[in-house]
Structure 1
Amino acid sequence: MTPEQAAWLAGLLDGEGCFDAPRNNPRIRVKMSDHDVIIRAADLMDASTHLEPPGRNGYKPLMVAQITGARAVAVMRAVLPLLSARRTAKATSLITAYAARPASRPRHLRSAA
């Protein structure tokens, strides 16, 4: 990602994005009715996209771009210096929590407990 692309993505995520960790898995999610903007963001993040139906009659469908896990952490690190203080704090806490997780074992070696 070029510095210009990182700056564009940071601006979008700062204003419209969500940084969270459902099931302790870091995630970046952004959604809006401007599908071309979401497609560009998804391309930069190598994220999946899907459409959500309109919430009310007369509203436009929303396009969602989402990325999780190590790829989300990598994107957070790339845009971190460009985010606002609140978003920087959230992204930093997610990155730190992800780094502190124990290494995942292959599925066939996990206990059935």
Structure 2
Amino acid sequence: MTPLTRAAMNEDIKIYIDQRDTMVEQRIKLWILSSLVAQVVALAPIIFFLGGIYQNANQSLDLLKSQKLVSEAMLIRVQAIEDRQREMRAWAKTKGFVPFTPEIPVK
């Protein structure tokens, strides 16, 4: 073989190896990308499920807070009514009136 032919053959082999390396790199990148996409797709329902649980928990907490505010307001109103009843009974006793209803025990 002549040196020119050997150099041309070496150049062809180098080009072939570079092309194969590039092709293998592309296949590996595609394989990694497809595996990442598969993982994300597999996790999507779990993410939505957990998001739903989080949203439901937040709504429940908001509902509990509003119920607590309502119950506190009702408790204040009941205490005001009980105080008013005590005042009226005390006033009635000073005037000599007999109450029509029995006294309700206050907790």
Whether these two folds match at TM > 0.5 is: no
Give TM-score, length-normalised by structure 1.
0.20
Whose Rg is larger?
A: 2
Larger fraction in helix: 2
Give TM-score, length-normalised by structure 2.
0.21
